Amino acid sequence: MSELLILVTAFGGITIGGACGYFIRKQLAQSRANSVEALAEKMFIEAKQKEQEVLLKAKEKAIKIIDDAKKEEHDRRSDLGQQQKRLEQRENMFDKKLMEFEDRKTNLQKKVEEIQAIKQKVDELKEHVNKRLEEVAHMDMEEAKEELFRRAERQSSEDLFGRLIKVEKINTEQYQNKAREIVVNCIQRCASNHSSETTSTSVPLPSDEMKGRIIGKDGRNIKTIEKLTGCELIIDDSPNMLLISGFSPIRRRVCQLALEKLIKDGRIQPARIEEFIDEAKRELALDIKQIGEEVLYKLGITGLDPKLVSIVGRLKYRTSYGQNIINHSTEVAQLSAMIAEEVGGIDASMAKKAGFFHDIGKAVDQETQGGHPEIGEMILKKFNMPSDIQHAARHHHDDHPDSLMTQIVQAADAISASRVGARRDTYELHVARLKELEATASDFPGIDKVYAIQAGREVRVFVKSEMVDDYAAFNLAKDIARKIENELQYPGEIKVNVIRESRVIEYAK
């Protein structure tokens, strides 16, 4: 019984405790909900207040912006009004000025008409006076003018003539002294060496035994060399030395290069001789171009066509009265530049070019018809050189050239040619005689090559074997000798040597 009571009491206590806990939790939850709603309401009220404040500030700012815009618009309208007033004032002023110009124009037109009328009256009066004067003097205006000139001429001719002679004498003396001073200064500033050009070139040999190898069996090697180069080989008792004789420097140079290659190679026979001579010609062509480049570089002349540079290099192997043309042209270029600097009014670099190219025609005058001035002008025109340089090349031998540039080049040319030892007339005449001898013998058909050797005492003629037979070669020698006798003047006698060779080539395939 007591245990049941305890259980009932415990169950009742538990029930009462759970009910009390429920009611307490409910009360606490209710109090928490009330506090959250109050906080939310408070925050809502504060947000509304802030929103009203922001709206008020925005309205105030908008009102201020509108007021500023209205003020700015008012100011702008005020400025536009003032500008419009100024424009109206200017338009009025321009209208007034235009009216004044129109009035002035009208007045000027009236004055012009009045002046034209006055001028017409003056012309009429002048014509009337002239007619009256012609009637009184019994001569027209032209006759009166001519008579006046004759009287003035008679009265002043002696005075004018004396004055002209005096002025001309003074000016001539001054110009001569100035020109003499310029020429002397240029000669002193440019002192060139003069190399002596000869008609022979020496070739050193490693031993005297090489002479026999060069001659070859029955002289076939030396004959081949002489035939292909047009030079004569002189092999004498001089130790370790042979001479190449010929008036053409280019032929001698080709022969020299070929001999040097043959001596170095050691295999001297006709086939190798032909091969090395062809190689020497190609090497000489490159050497000629290199010489032209070196000379132009020393003078500071650049930008030229490579073909013109090669033509310049050929001047090294050309002489005039024994004077080397490339040395002569270089000296004339330097003298022309100096004279141009002294005289003034002429570009010194242009004068240097004109002086250097004045004898460019001599590089090819032996292969081209015409004098070297005409050939030089043609070459310079082909390579688009300036007209002043072309004119100097064409007219540097004229008595009275009309260009200052040409006169400067002519003076420099005369200075270079007149130096002591620069030229030898006898050598040039000798070379000209040999060239004329070769040209005379070349006029017959069937001739391949003609060389004048032994100082012109022998003419060696190589004929084409397919065109000239043995009998024709015999007659050709007589015809050439007879033509030389009839057309040329020479001391002693000339040997005509006609050579005919047959060569047959076949290939085994």
Question: Binning pLDDT at 50, 70 and 90, where does residue 197 land?
Answer: very low
Q: Is the pLDDT of residue 72 over 50?
A: yes
State the pLDDT at residue 397. Answer: 84
Q: Give residue-wise pLDDT tens across range 356-400.
A: 898 888 888 777 777 888 988 899 899 899 888 888 888 888 877
State the pLDDT at residue 501. Answer: 80
State the pLDDT at residue 419. Answer: 62
Instruction: Let me know if residue 107 belongs to a domain.
Output: no
Of 186, 205, 232, the domain-final residue: 186
Please state, in angstroms and rounded to a whole number, the distance separating the CA atoms of residues 385 and 52. Answer: 95
Q: Give residue-wise pLDDT tens across range 239-256.
A: 888 888 877 788 888 898
Phi-psi region of 456 (alpha: psi -120 to 50; beta: other; left: phi over 0): left
Mean local confidence (pLDDT), 109-113: 89
Instruction: Let me know if residue 228 belongs to a domain.
Output: yes
- CB crowding 36-47: b at 16 or more within 10 Å, else e: eeeeeeeeeeee
The answer to which of 47-61, 140-154, 211-225, 488-502 has the lowest mean pLDDT is 140-154
Q: Is the pLDDT of residue 183 over 80?
A: no
Please state, in angstroms and rounded to a whole number, the distance separating the CA atoms of residues 402 and 418. Answer: 23
Instruction: Let me know if residue 364 belongs to a domain.
Output: yes
Question: Which residues constitute the domain of residue 357?
Answer: 309-423
Same-domain check for residues 279 and 328: no
Instruction: Let me know if residue 13 belongs to a domain.
Output: no
Q: Is the pLDDT of residue 154 over 80?
A: no
Same-domain check for residues 478 and 397: no
Q: Is the pLDDT of residue 265 over 70?
A: yes
Among 219, 201, 221, 317, CA closest to 263? 221
Instruction: Let me know if residue 66 belongs to a domain.
Output: no
Q: Which residues pair with 458 in a beta bridge?
A: 453, 495
Same-domain check for residues 214 and 291: yes
Please state, in angstroms and rounded to a whole number, the distance separating the CA atoms of residues 142 and 145. Answer: 5
| CA neighbours closer than 13 Å in the CB half-sphere of residue 217 | 2
Dihedral of alpha carbons 87, 90, 95, 101, sign? negative
Neighbours of 35 (CB within 10 A): 10
Question: Which tokens go with 92?
Answer: 């009025």
Q: Is the pLDDT of residue 194 over 50?
A: no
Mean local confidence (pLDDT), 308-316: 87
H/E stretch holding 453: strand 447-453
| 241-245: strand order across its sheet | 200-204, 241-245, 232-234
Among 275, 238, 237, CA closest to 258? 275
What percent of the chain clears pLDDT 70, i.e. is strictly above it?
83
Question: Which tokens go with 172?
Answer: 């001539």
Among 355, 340, 344, 360, CA closest to 300? 355
Question: Which tokens go with 46?
Answer: 């504060």
Q: Residue 287 maps to which CATH number?
A: 3.30.1370.10
Same-domain check for residues 243 and 317: no
Same-domain check for residues 211 and 274: yes
Mean local confidence (pLDDT), 151-180: 64
What percent of the chain clears pLDDT 90, i.e. is strictly above it?
0
State the pLDDT at residue 160. Answer: 64
Cβ–Cβ < 8 Å for 221, 273: yes
Instruction: Let me know if residue 22 belongs to a domain.
Output: no
- Rg of the chain (C-alpha set): 57
Q: Which residues pair with 447 in a beta bridge?
A: 463
Instruction: Let me know if residue 166 belongs to a domain.
Output: yes
State the pLDDT at residue 155. Answer: 66
Same-domain check for residues 387 and 334: yes
**C-alpha distances out from residue 491 to 430, 433, 457, 464, Å:** 12, 11, 9, 30
Q: Residue 463 maps to which CATH number?
A: 3.30.300.20
The answer to which of 5-9, 41-45, 199-203, 324-328 has the lowest mean pLDDT is 5-9
Same-domain check for residues 319 and 401: yes
Q: Residue 321 maps to which CATH number?
A: 1.10.3210.10
Mean local confidence (pLDDT), 22-43: 72
Same-domain check for residues 368 and 386: yes
Same-domain check for residues 406 and 319: yes
Same-domain check for residues 227 and 201: yes
Of 299, 330, 352, the domain-final residue: 299
State the pLDDT at residue 196. Answer: 42
At 86, the amino acid letter reads R
Instruction: Let me know if residue 474 belongs to a domain.
Output: yes
Q: Give the number of domains in the chain.
A: 4
Cβ–Cβ < 8 Å for 273, 228: yes
State the pLDDT at residue 427. Answer: 61
What is the DSSP code (8-state) at residue 5?
Answer: H
Verdict on whether the full-model pTM lies above 0.85: no
Mean pLDDT of the chain, nearest integer: 80
Mean local confidence (pLDDT), 195-206: 70
Same-domain check for residues 206 and 253: yes
- CB crowding 148-181: b at 16 or more within 10 Å, else e: eeeeeeeeeeeeeeeeeeeeeeeeeeeeeeeeee
Neighbours of 140 (CB within 10 A): 13
State the pLDDT at residue 33. Answer: 60
Give the per-residue SS3 of 89-133.
HHHHHHHHHHHHHHHHHHHHHHHHHHHHHHHHHHHHHHHHHHHHH
Measured CA angle at 91 (ends 87, 97), to 5 deg: 140
Q: Give residue-wise pLDDT tens across range 75-87.
A: 888 888 888 888 8
Same-domain check for residues 335 and 385: yes
The answer to which of 146-150, 179-183, 290-294, 446-450 has the lowest mean pLDDT is 179-183
Of 278, 299, 320, the domain-final residue: 299
